[in-house]
Amino acid sequence: MVRLSISSLLISSLSAVLLIVVLSTILKREKTYSIFRSDFLNLFYTMILIRLFFPVELLNTITIPSLRILPAIYNTLEYHMKFFSISITIYQVVGIIWLSGTIVFVIRLIINTLKLNHLMQNIKGKSKQLPTKQYISSNKVPIYISSCVDSPMTSGLLHPIIIIPDHNYSELEIYNVLLHELQHIQNKDVAKKYIIEILTCIYWWLPFVYLLRKQISLIIELNVDSQVTEKMSSEDYFNYMNSLVSVQEKRKTNQTHINGQPIAAYFTNYHQSTLSKRVEFLFNGFKRKKTNKLILALLLVSVLTVTSFIFEPKRYDKNLIQNTFEIHKPASQYILKTKNGQYILYINDKNMGAISNIDDPSLKDIPIKDE
Protein backbone atom coordinates (compact mmCIF):
# COMPACT_ATOMS: atom_id res chain seq x y z
CA MET A 1 0.00 0.00 0.00
CA VAL A 2 1.33 3.45 -0.94
CA ARG A 3 1.34 5.74 2.11
CA LEU A 4 2.63 9.25 2.81
CA SER A 5 3.86 9.89 6.33
CA ILE A 6 6.33 12.02 8.27
CA SER A 7 8.72 9.06 8.29
CA SER A 8 8.48 8.51 4.53
CA LEU A 9 9.04 12.22 3.87
CA LEU A 10 12.02 12.31 6.22
CA ILE A 11 13.64 9.17 4.79
CA SER A 12 12.97 10.31 1.21
CA SER A 13 14.67 13.64 1.90
CA LEU A 14 17.66 12.00 3.59
CA SER A 15 18.11 9.40 0.84
CA ALA A 16 17.83 12.15 -1.81
CA VAL A 17 20.50 14.20 -0.01
CA LEU A 18 22.78 11.14 0.03
CA LEU A 19 22.28 10.58 -3.70
CA ILE A 20 22.84 14.28 -4.47
CA VAL A 21 26.17 14.17 -2.61
CA VAL A 22 27.21 11.07 -4.58
CA LEU A 23 26.19 12.75 -7.86
CA SER A 24 28.16 15.86 -6.90
CA THR A 25 31.24 13.73 -6.27
CA ILE A 26 30.90 12.11 -9.70
CA LEU A 27 30.52 15.45 -11.48
CA LYS A 28 33.50 17.00 -9.69
CA ARG A 29 35.89 14.23 -10.67
CA GLU A 30 36.59 14.58 -14.37
CA LYS A 31 38.32 11.18 -14.42
CA THR A 32 34.92 9.55 -13.86
CA TYR A 33 33.62 10.96 -17.15
CA SER A 34 35.23 8.09 -19.03
CA ILE A 35 33.19 5.62 -16.93
CA PHE A 36 29.89 7.39 -16.27
CA ARG A 37 28.38 8.81 -19.43
CA SER A 38 25.23 10.87 -19.96
CA ASP A 39 22.90 7.85 -19.88
CA PHE A 40 24.12 7.06 -16.35
CA LEU A 41 23.85 10.68 -15.21
CA ASN A 42 20.33 11.03 -16.66
CA LEU A 43 19.15 7.88 -14.89
CA PHE A 44 20.78 8.99 -11.64
CA TYR A 45 19.10 12.38 -11.42
CA THR A 46 15.77 10.95 -12.64
CA MET A 47 15.77 8.52 -9.70
CA ILE A 48 16.37 11.43 -7.32
CA LEU A 49 13.51 13.43 -8.84
CA ILE A 50 11.12 10.49 -8.56
CA ARG A 51 12.05 9.99 -4.91
CA LEU A 52 11.49 13.66 -4.08
CA PHE A 53 8.25 14.01 -6.04
CA PHE A 54 6.84 10.79 -4.54
CA PRO A 55 8.11 10.59 -0.92
CA VAL A 56 5.86 7.65 -0.06
CA GLU A 57 6.14 4.14 1.31
CA LEU A 58 5.93 1.67 -1.57
CA LEU A 59 4.86 -1.97 -1.63
CA ASN A 60 8.46 -3.16 -1.32
CA THR A 61 9.29 -0.81 1.58
CA ILE A 62 10.96 -2.50 4.54
CA THR A 63 9.92 -0.94 7.86
CA ILE A 64 12.52 -0.70 10.63
CA PRO A 65 11.28 0.35 14.11
CA SER A 66 12.95 3.38 15.67
CA LEU A 67 13.02 3.29 19.46
CA ARG A 68 14.38 6.74 20.32
CA ILE A 69 14.99 9.26 17.52
CA LEU A 70 11.69 9.11 15.61
CA PRO A 71 9.50 8.79 18.73
CA ALA A 72 11.22 11.91 20.08
CA ILE A 73 10.64 13.74 16.79
CA TYR A 74 6.98 12.69 16.66
CA ASN A 75 6.41 13.70 20.29
CA THR A 76 8.00 17.10 19.61
CA LEU A 77 5.88 17.68 16.49
CA GLU A 78 2.72 16.73 18.38
CA TYR A 79 3.43 19.16 21.21
CA HIS A 80 0.49 21.56 21.62
CA MET A 81 0.97 25.31 21.81
CA LYS A 82 -1.59 28.04 22.32
CA PHE A 83 -1.98 31.18 20.23
CA PHE A 84 -4.80 33.44 21.37
CA SER A 85 -6.77 30.53 22.86
CA ILE A 86 -6.19 28.42 19.72
CA SER A 87 -4.44 25.11 20.32
CA ILE A 88 -2.00 24.15 17.57
CA THR A 89 0.74 21.54 17.29
CA ILE A 90 4.31 22.13 16.14
CA TYR A 91 3.53 19.75 13.30
CA GLN A 92 0.77 22.08 12.09
CA VAL A 93 3.06 25.13 12.44
CA VAL A 94 5.75 23.43 10.33
CA GLY A 95 3.12 22.51 7.74
CA ILE A 96 1.85 26.09 7.55
CA ILE A 97 5.39 27.47 7.14
CA TRP A 98 6.19 24.89 4.45
CA LEU A 99 2.99 25.57 2.52
CA SER A 100 3.40 29.35 2.83
CA GLY A 101 6.97 29.16 1.52
CA THR A 102 5.88 26.98 -1.39
CA ILE A 103 3.14 29.45 -2.34
CA VAL A 104 5.64 32.34 -2.24
CA PHE A 105 8.11 30.46 -4.44
CA VAL A 106 5.40 29.45 -6.92
CA ILE A 107 4.22 33.06 -7.19
CA ARG A 108 7.81 34.18 -7.74
CA LEU A 109 8.25 31.53 -10.44
CA ILE A 110 5.11 32.73 -12.22
CA ILE A 111 6.25 36.37 -12.03
CA ASN A 112 9.73 35.52 -13.34
CA THR A 113 8.20 33.50 -16.18
CA LEU A 114 5.98 36.43 -17.18
CA LYS A 115 8.98 38.77 -17.02
CA LEU A 116 11.02 36.40 -19.17
CA ASN A 117 8.26 36.18 -21.77
CA HIS A 118 8.04 39.98 -21.83
CA LEU A 119 11.82 40.24 -22.25
CA MET A 120 11.76 37.72 -25.09
CA GLN A 121 9.15 39.79 -26.90
CA ASN A 122 11.37 42.88 -26.52
CA ILE A 123 14.39 40.98 -27.81
CA LYS A 124 12.49 39.66 -30.82
CA GLY A 125 11.37 43.20 -31.63
CA LYS A 126 14.98 44.44 -31.62
CA SER A 127 16.48 41.45 -33.39
CA LYS A 128 17.11 40.35 -36.95
CA GLN A 129 15.46 37.09 -37.95
CA LEU A 130 17.50 34.72 -40.08
CA PRO A 131 16.01 32.48 -42.74
CA THR A 132 14.87 29.40 -40.84
CA LYS A 133 16.63 26.87 -43.06
CA GLN A 134 19.72 28.90 -43.87
CA TYR A 135 22.12 26.64 -41.93
CA ILE A 136 20.14 23.43 -41.34
CA SER A 137 17.70 22.40 -44.06
CA SER A 138 15.39 20.48 -41.71
CA ASN A 139 15.11 23.30 -39.16
CA LYS A 140 11.66 24.78 -38.49
CA VAL A 141 12.50 26.84 -35.36
CA PRO A 142 12.77 30.65 -35.77
CA ILE A 143 16.32 31.98 -35.40
CA TYR A 144 17.14 35.51 -34.27
CA ILE A 145 20.41 37.45 -34.19
CA SER A 146 20.45 39.90 -31.28
CA SER A 147 22.84 42.29 -29.57
CA CYS A 148 20.72 42.00 -26.41
CA VAL A 149 22.12 38.61 -25.40
CA ASP A 150 25.67 37.48 -24.78
CA SER A 151 25.28 33.70 -25.19
CA PRO A 152 23.22 31.49 -27.49
CA MET A 153 19.94 30.54 -25.88
CA THR A 154 16.64 28.76 -26.42
CA SER A 155 13.40 30.14 -25.03
CA GLY A 156 9.75 29.18 -25.20
CA LEU A 157 7.90 26.16 -23.84
CA LEU A 158 5.23 25.76 -26.54
CA HIS A 159 6.71 27.90 -29.31
CA PRO A 160 10.51 27.79 -28.92
CA ILE A 161 12.88 30.21 -30.58
CA ILE A 162 16.67 30.33 -30.82
CA ILE A 163 18.55 33.57 -30.16
CA ILE A 164 22.19 33.96 -31.17
CA PRO A 165 24.36 36.90 -30.04
CA ASP A 166 25.40 39.40 -32.67
CA HIS A 167 29.05 38.35 -32.46
CA ASN A 168 31.51 37.60 -35.21
CA TYR A 169 30.70 33.90 -35.42
CA SER A 170 31.93 31.79 -38.32
CA GLU A 171 29.53 29.69 -40.37
CA LEU A 172 30.81 26.55 -38.63
CA GLU A 173 30.30 28.06 -35.18
CA ILE A 174 26.72 29.06 -35.98
CA TYR A 175 26.04 25.61 -37.40
CA ASN A 176 27.30 23.87 -34.25
CA VAL A 177 25.43 26.29 -31.99
CA LEU A 178 22.20 25.56 -33.87
CA LEU A 179 22.79 21.80 -33.62
CA HIS A 180 23.13 22.21 -29.87
CA GLU A 181 20.07 24.42 -29.39
CA LEU A 182 17.86 22.30 -31.66
CA GLN A 183 18.78 19.24 -29.61
CA HIS A 184 17.65 21.12 -26.48
CA ILE A 185 14.31 21.72 -28.16
CA GLN A 186 14.00 18.10 -29.27
CA ASN A 187 14.74 16.94 -25.69
CA LYS A 188 12.07 19.29 -24.24
CA ASP A 189 14.71 20.78 -21.94
CA VAL A 190 12.65 23.90 -21.28
CA ALA A 191 9.96 21.66 -19.78
CA LYS A 192 12.61 19.88 -17.72
CA LYS A 193 13.75 23.23 -16.39
CA TYR A 194 10.26 24.06 -15.16
CA ILE A 195 9.93 20.64 -13.53
CA ILE A 196 13.11 21.35 -11.57
CA GLU A 197 11.83 24.81 -10.66
CA ILE A 198 8.58 23.31 -9.37
CA LEU A 199 10.58 20.83 -7.27
CA THR A 200 12.59 23.75 -5.89
CA CYS A 201 9.35 25.51 -4.96
CA ILE A 202 8.23 22.44 -3.01
CA TYR A 203 11.56 21.78 -1.27
CA TRP A 204 12.57 25.42 -0.86
CA TRP A 205 13.75 24.64 2.69
CA LEU A 206 16.21 21.91 1.60
CA PRO A 207 19.62 23.43 0.66
CA PHE A 208 20.65 20.37 -1.36
CA VAL A 209 17.81 20.86 -3.83
CA TYR A 210 19.58 23.98 -5.13
CA LEU A 211 22.73 21.94 -5.65
CA LEU A 212 20.62 19.36 -7.50
CA ARG A 213 19.23 22.10 -9.76
CA LYS A 214 22.78 23.17 -10.66
CA GLN A 215 23.84 19.55 -11.23
CA ILE A 216 20.91 18.85 -13.54
CA SER A 217 21.65 22.00 -15.52
CA LEU A 218 25.15 20.68 -16.19
CA ILE A 219 23.92 17.15 -16.96
CA ILE A 220 21.44 18.54 -19.49
CA GLU A 221 24.35 20.21 -21.30
CA LEU A 222 26.50 17.08 -21.18
CA ASN A 223 23.61 15.04 -22.51
CA VAL A 224 23.00 17.40 -25.43
CA ASP A 225 26.70 17.48 -26.32
CA SER A 226 26.76 13.69 -26.25
CA GLN A 227 23.67 13.39 -28.46
CA VAL A 228 24.85 15.97 -31.01
CA THR A 229 28.27 14.35 -31.45
CA GLU A 230 27.14 10.71 -31.24
CA LYS A 231 27.27 10.06 -34.99
CA MET A 232 29.83 12.70 -35.97
CA SER A 233 33.07 11.87 -37.73
CA SER A 234 36.31 12.48 -35.84
CA GLU A 235 36.84 15.78 -37.66
CA ASP A 236 33.33 17.07 -36.97
CA TYR A 237 33.57 15.85 -33.36
CA PHE A 238 36.63 17.95 -32.59
CA ASN A 239 35.32 20.88 -34.64
CA TYR A 240 32.28 20.88 -32.33
CA MET A 241 34.57 20.94 -29.28
CA ASN A 242 36.53 23.82 -30.78
CA SER A 243 33.29 25.71 -31.42
CA LEU A 244 32.38 25.47 -27.72
CA VAL A 245 35.68 27.11 -26.80
CA SER A 246 35.60 29.77 -29.53
CA VAL A 247 32.01 30.79 -28.67
CA GLN A 248 33.13 31.24 -25.05
CA GLU A 249 36.08 33.38 -26.13
CA LYS A 250 33.80 35.72 -28.09
CA ARG A 251 31.60 36.52 -25.12
CA LYS A 252 31.66 40.12 -23.96
CA THR A 253 32.86 41.09 -20.51
CA ASN A 254 29.63 42.78 -19.46
CA GLN A 255 26.23 41.13 -19.61
CA THR A 256 23.66 43.01 -21.67
CA HIS A 257 20.50 44.19 -19.89
CA ILE A 258 17.01 44.77 -21.18
CA ASN A 259 14.68 46.92 -19.08
CA GLY A 260 17.09 46.55 -16.18
CA GLN A 261 17.00 42.73 -16.33
CA PRO A 262 20.12 40.66 -17.19
CA ILE A 263 19.71 38.18 -20.01
CA ALA A 264 21.33 34.84 -19.22
CA ALA A 265 21.70 31.76 -21.37
CA TYR A 266 19.05 29.41 -20.07
CA PHE A 267 20.27 26.14 -21.48
CA THR A 268 23.58 26.77 -23.19
CA ASN A 269 26.27 27.19 -20.59
CA TYR A 270 29.36 28.77 -22.07
CA HIS A 271 30.63 29.81 -18.63
CA GLN A 272 34.28 28.93 -18.16
CA SER A 273 33.73 26.50 -15.25
CA THR A 274 30.95 24.63 -17.03
CA LEU A 275 32.69 24.75 -20.39
CA SER A 276 35.77 22.96 -19.06
CA LYS A 277 33.60 20.09 -17.79
CA ARG A 278 31.77 19.86 -21.12
CA VAL A 279 35.01 19.75 -23.11
CA GLU A 280 36.52 17.20 -20.72
CA PHE A 281 33.36 15.10 -20.96
CA LEU A 282 33.50 15.14 -24.76
CA PHE A 283 37.21 14.37 -24.78
CA ASN A 284 36.77 11.33 -22.52
CA GLY A 285 33.71 10.21 -24.46
CA PHE A 286 35.33 10.18 -27.87
CA LYS A 287 35.85 6.40 -27.64
CA ARG A 288 33.26 5.51 -24.98
CA LYS A 289 29.87 7.11 -25.60
CA LYS A 290 27.72 4.81 -23.42
CA THR A 291 27.98 3.60 -19.84
CA ASN A 292 28.56 -0.11 -19.30
CA LYS A 293 25.18 -1.82 -18.89
CA LEU A 294 26.35 -3.62 -15.75
CA ILE A 295 27.11 -0.25 -14.12
CA LEU A 296 23.63 1.00 -15.07
CA ALA A 297 22.08 -2.12 -13.53
CA LEU A 298 24.13 -1.67 -10.34
CA LEU A 299 23.00 1.95 -10.14
CA LEU A 300 19.36 0.95 -10.42
CA VAL A 301 19.71 -1.74 -7.75
CA SER A 302 21.68 0.57 -5.43
CA VAL A 303 19.17 3.41 -5.66
CA LEU A 304 16.23 1.03 -5.14
CA THR A 305 18.02 -0.44 -2.11
CA VAL A 306 18.74 2.96 -0.57
CA THR A 307 15.14 4.09 -1.03
CA SER A 308 13.42 0.84 0.04
CA PHE A 309 14.00 1.22 3.78
CA ILE A 310 11.96 3.36 6.12
CA PHE A 311 12.15 3.92 9.86
CA GLU A 312 8.93 4.13 11.84
CA PRO A 313 8.67 5.18 15.48
CA LYS A 314 7.93 2.35 17.89
CA ARG A 315 5.58 3.88 20.40
CA TYR A 316 2.16 3.30 21.95
CA ASP A 317 -0.93 5.45 22.19
CA LYS A 318 -1.25 6.41 25.86
CA ASN A 319 -5.03 6.42 25.65
CA LEU A 320 -5.08 2.85 24.34
CA ILE A 321 -2.72 1.39 26.97
CA GLN A 322 -4.34 3.16 29.92
CA ASN A 323 -5.46 0.68 32.65
CA THR A 324 -3.61 -2.18 30.92
CA PHE A 325 -0.46 -4.04 31.88
CA GLU A 326 2.25 -5.93 30.03
CA ILE A 327 2.64 -9.62 30.83
CA HIS A 328 6.14 -10.89 31.49
CA LYS A 329 7.03 -14.42 32.54
CA PRO A 330 8.64 -14.43 35.98
CA ALA A 331 9.07 -17.66 37.95
CA SER A 332 6.13 -16.87 40.27
CA GLN A 333 3.63 -16.47 37.45
CA TYR A 334 0.76 -19.00 37.26
CA ILE A 335 -2.94 -19.48 36.61
CA LEU A 336 -5.23 -20.80 39.35
CA LYS A 337 -8.19 -22.94 38.29
CA THR A 338 -10.91 -22.65 40.93
CA LYS A 339 -13.36 -25.38 41.87
CA ASN A 340 -16.14 -23.64 40.00
CA GLY A 341 -14.07 -23.64 36.77
CA GLN A 342 -12.88 -20.02 36.86
CA TYR A 343 -9.33 -19.11 35.88
CA ILE A 344 -7.43 -16.41 37.82
CA LEU A 345 -4.01 -15.01 36.88
CA TYR A 346 -1.44 -14.62 39.66
CA ILE A 347 1.80 -12.66 39.20
CA ASN A 348 4.21 -12.62 42.13
CA ASP A 349 1.41 -14.09 44.24
CA LYS A 350 -0.82 -11.10 43.44
CA ASN A 351 -4.34 -11.69 42.09
CA MET A 352 -4.47 -9.94 38.71
CA GLY A 353 -8.12 -10.86 38.00
CA ALA A 354 -10.14 -13.50 36.18
CA ILE A 355 -9.19 -14.66 32.70
CA SER A 356 -12.02 -14.52 30.19
CA ASN A 357 -10.26 -16.56 27.46
CA ILE A 358 -8.02 -19.32 28.74
CA ASP A 359 -7.18 -20.27 25.11
CA ASP A 360 -5.41 -16.96 24.50
CA PRO A 361 -2.02 -17.84 22.83
CA SER A 362 -0.20 -15.42 25.15
CA LEU A 363 -1.11 -17.63 28.13
CA LYS A 364 -0.04 -20.98 26.70
CA ASP A 365 3.33 -21.09 28.55
CA ILE A 366 1.91 -20.09 31.97
CA PRO A 367 1.41 -23.11 34.28
CA ILE A 368 -2.12 -23.87 35.53
CA LYS A 369 -2.71 -25.00 39.13
CA ASP A 370 -5.87 -26.49 40.58
CA GLU A 371 -7.37 -24.92 43.68
Residue 180: per-residue pLDDT: 93
Cα–Cα dist 213/207, whole Å:
11
pLDDT tens, 209-234? 999 999 999 999 999 999 999 889 99
Residue 258: per-residue pLDDT: 43
Give the predicted TM-score (pTM) of the model: 0.76
- Residues in the chain with pLDDT < 70? 1-2, 58-61, 63-67, 252-273, 287-288, 306-331
Buried b vs exposed e over 78-115: b needs ≥16 C-beta within 10 Å? eeeeeeeeeeeeebeeeeeeeeeebeebeeeeeeeeee
DSSP string, 268-279: ----HHHHHHHH
Residue 353: per-residue pLDDT: 77
**Hey, what amino acid is at 88?**
I
Domain ranges of the chain: 326-370
Residue 183: per-residue pLDDT: 94
Report H helices in the chain: 6-28, 38-53, 69-77, 90-125, 171-186, 189-202, 208-229, 234-249, 272-284, 293-306, 318-321
Residue 335: per-residue pLDDT: 84
Residue 269: per-residue pLDDT: 46
Residue 309: per-residue pLDDT: 66
